[in-house]
Amino acid sequence: MAAHLSTEEIQRAYIKVFSGLLILTVLTVIAAKGLHFPESWGAIGHILHVVIGLVIAVLKAWMVVYIFMHIKFDNPYIRVFIYIPLFLFSVLVFALTVLGGSTL
Amino acid sequence: MSALTLTHEPVTGIRHGKLGMWIFLASEVMFFSGFFTAFIILRNSNLAAFAKGATELSWPLAALNTVVLIGSSLTMAMAILSLENGKKQRFQLFMFITFLCACTFLVVKYIEYTTKFHHGIYPSTSTFFAMYFIMTGFHGIHVLGGMIPIGWMLSRSFSKKGYTDYGRVEILGLYWHFVDLVWIFLFPVLYLIF
């Protein structure tokens, strides 16, 4: 596995991901607790908070999967096990919220 | 007979154990998808009550737990790398730190839960807390479940033969990173985005 990368290079990638995860954790807390949108924005401010929180979470998840779980270095066939559940999850959310008539 | 001795899936070349773990993780994604979808639906029809519930949670404790789990993911990755390179003591050290992080996570979770109980907050208190307890509870069980093989491999590594099954540790690592992954989503969804 990862035959083309040296131990030092992989180690450096791990440390980078770890630092990135810590920074993003701080950012998501600051965005949620320190960032206030003007009252006049109404629901948009609230939706922005949700979007920022989820975008940061997806970024963090991607870093964990890509580096820690070795998707970057490993057999590309394994990606199937990420795409299929992601697709099914999207279908589930879409069906229950948009088609189910629930408002976001 | 040859099919029985194959160690890798013949078409993709993925090791059997690893393939099994990825299939299991895919099913785990669907397991937690159910909870997250239920959470979205209930939250959207009950926004004010959910926002009120979320403010009663302690986000600093959850942030601490996020850092603890991210750290344990790093040490798990380092443990796998160490074993791959045959560095036994480094492997033991990193596995031990991973185990300690898991313990810390559960202790913090215990403090969170008991604080809630002292304030008279139970899963039956509101829809929000029903979702909170079931989602964090199932995640906690996953942490606990991960600690069993971590502890087992760690204790085996002190035996005369040592622990050399790199493949199994790698598979355990995949599971452990997945547990971290679930918490990465639980943290903003439950504690932050209201």
What distance in Å separates residue A2's CA from the closest CA in chain B?
11
**What ipTM did this prediction achieve?**
0.91
SS3 per-residue string spanning B63-100: HHHHHHHHHHHHHHHHHHHHHHCCCHHHHHHHHHHHHH
Residue A101, Ramachandran bin (φ over 0: left; ψ between -120 and 50: alpha; else beta):
left
* Whether this model's pTM surpasses 0.80: yes
Model pLDDT for residues A69-90, shown as the tens digit of each residue: 999 998 999 999 999 999 999 8
Domain membership of residue B177 (yes or no) is yes
Q: In this structure, what token pair is assigned to residue A80? A: 């199937």
Euclidean distance between CA atoms A67 and B74, whole angstroms: 10
CATH for B146:
1.20.120.80
In degrees and rounded to multiples of 5, residue B85 shows phi and psi of -90, 5
> How many domains is chain B built from?
1
Q: Which of A69, A27, A57, A67 is nearest to B36 (CA)?
A: A57
> A-chain residues within 8 Å CB-CB of B189?
53-54, 57
In degrees and rounded to multiples of 5, residue A78 shows phi and psi of -65, -25
Domain membership of residue B11 (yes or no) is no
Average pLDDT over residues B55-73: 96
**Cα B104 off chain centre by:** 13
> A-chain residues within 8 Å CB-CB of B185?
57, 61
Q: How many percent of chain B have pLDDT more than 70? A: 97
Asked if A6 has any chain B CB less than 8 Å from its own CB, the reply is no
Cβ distance B182 to B31 under 8 Å?
no
Domain membership of residue B174 (yes or no) is yes
pLDDT at site A2: 47
Task: Tell me chain A's radius of gyration from C-alpha atoms.
Answer: 18
Q: Do A102 and B41 touch (CB under 8 A)?
A: yes
**Cα B6 off chain centre by:** 31
Q: Do B13 and A18 touch (CB under 8 A)?
A: no
Domain membership of residue B8 (yes or no) is no
Q: Do B189 and A11 touch (CB under 8 A)?
A: no
Of B12, B23, B85, the CB nearest to A77: B12
Euclidean distance between CA atoms B45 and B39, whole angstroms: 10
| Low-confidence stretches of chain A (pLDDT beneath 70) | 1-3, 100-104
Q: Where are the domains of chain A?
A: 1-73, 76-104
Task: Tell me chain B's radius of gyration from C-alpha atoms.
Answer: 19
Cβ distance B185 to A60 under 8 Å?
no
Euclidean distance between CA atoms B177 and B164, whole angstroms: 21
Average pLDDT over residues B99-112: 98
Of A54, A75, A93, the CB nearest to B14: A75
Q: Which domain holds residue B73?
A: 23-192
